[in-house]
Each structure stands twice: as C-alpha cells, then as structure tokens.
Amino acid sequence: MSAKLPPLIAVIGSDGSGKSTVCEHLIAYVKHYGPAVQVHLGKQAGNVGRAAAKLPLLGRSVGKAIESNTKKVKTKKSRIGLLPSAVIIAFVGRRLLRFRRMLAYRRQGLIVLTDRFPQAQIPGAYDGTVFPVDVEGSRFVRWLAARERAAFQWMAGQKPDLVLKLNVSLDVACARKPDHRKAALEKKIAVTPLLTFEGADIVDLDADRPIEEVLSAAEKAIAEFMAAQGYRYSADGASTAAH
C-alpha cells in the first residue's frame, strides 16, 4: 500500500454471495479507522436500463434497447454489431468515470470500500471485459474492443490493498437469487476462486455461513489488515493512522 494513500478495500463475489449486505455493514465499521466512502464499481446495466425507461418520450425504447443488446452480448458470439458494441463501450465509459472518482476519493484522504472491482485476468467473466477475445466485426468494433481491454487493464492495475472474497455455493446462491439463471451463477461461482486481483492481499470468506458470522469474519479481516498498516480502531471514527 502506498504510504501516501489510505487503504482501498474491495468486496467481491458472485451474485447471491451477499456483497451488498456485507458492504452496507462494513462501511460503518471501516469509518472507525478514519473518514471512508463506499463505491460501487460494477456495471449496473439493469439499474441503468430501469432508469432510462423512466425518461419521457424515448425512455422506454432506450431501456429496452439496453436490455436487449446486453443479452445479445452475453451470448458470447464472436461477431458483434455496432449497436451492442456501443452499449458495451457506454458502460465502460460509465465505469471509468466511477473508477476515477474512486481514485479521487483516495487522493482526498478517504479510506475506500468498493462493492466489486474490475478484473482483466479472465475475459468474459464477471467484472471483466465483455467483448470476446476473438471479436469479429467492423474495424471500428475491433477498435472499441481494444479500448475496452485497455480500460480494464488500467483499472485492474490499480489493485486493491485488501480483497474480501465471498465464496458461496451454487445451492445457496440459487436460493438467494431465484430470479437468476443457474448456469450464470454457476459460472461466476467457479470463476471467483481463480481471481487474483494482480496479487492483492486476499481473504477468503465462507458466504454460506449465517450473515452474522460472515460479517464478524469480515470485520476481523479488516481489523488485522488495518492494524498491520498502522491504523487503530477509534470508537468515534476519528482518523488514527500512524504514518
């Protein structure tokens, strides 16, 4: 960890692993070590589509287009048309903006807790690139794919100081996310143990356990990490970093 920057802590895991619940709890805990902020670094395509659908006049059409083209891309066909490519790169741009905002928070002296973190290790896996490695299409589409790869390589290179990896079983994930496709959850669960986040310090947590136990284990991991970095827990949340 750079001595000039506060810690960057990422919480990652498949859908159904409890990321949102864990992050909502941990941000309050992390603030006992100093000023902190929580940032979501996922794609959030569903949220954008729902928001777009509420816009006047063309809102519903735009929302449906985002949903439709996101599904087309997920078929993983090598040939991708211009409209799906435009949807992909729009989300990449949105993600880059939030990532740069996150870096700005660190420069301002805030401890950062992220829900998800971009990875460039496994193309096509969650929180990674969307364009197929062997993408076919026009020269412009291939150029967009190259820009996406470059963006994710840059973001992944700003590796977290600590990664809390929530490992969940398929049965538990399906029970928690009955509206999600089992095959999609299975793939994400299989990928989770493989992600190394550029050699970041990783703590594996059993997300099948009752939420109280998961939260306790997460707090313990953060406490040990922060102590090793010279931070002390403060009941009033005042900064106690030893630089």
pLDDT (tens place) for every residue of the chain, 243 residues total: 445 799 999 999 999 999 999 999 999 999 999 999 999 998 755 444 444 444 454 445 444 544 444 454 444 456 788 889 999 999 999 999 999 999 999 999 999 999 999 999 999 999 999 999 888 888 999 999 999 999 999 999 999 999 999 999 999 999 999 999 999 999 999 999 999 999 999 999 999 999 999 999 999 999 999 999 999 999 876 655 654
Q: pTM to 2 decimals?
A: 0.84
> What pLDDT is recorded for position 63?
47
Contact 36, 27 (CB under 8 A): yes
- In degrees and rounded to multiples of 5, residue 115 shows phi and psi of -90, 105
> What pLDDT is recorded for position 33?
96
Contact 125, 191 (CB under 8 A): yes
Calpha distance 130→116 (Å, rounded): 16
> What pLDDT is recorded for position 136?
85
> What pLDDT is recorded for position 69?
47
Give how far Cα 228 sits from Cα of 100, 221, 241, Å: 27, 11, 11
> What pLDDT is recorded for position 65?
47
Q: And the tokens for 179?
A: 């509206």
Q: On the CB side of 10, how many CA atoms lie within 13 Å of its CA?
A: 26
> What pLDDT is recorded for position 241?
62
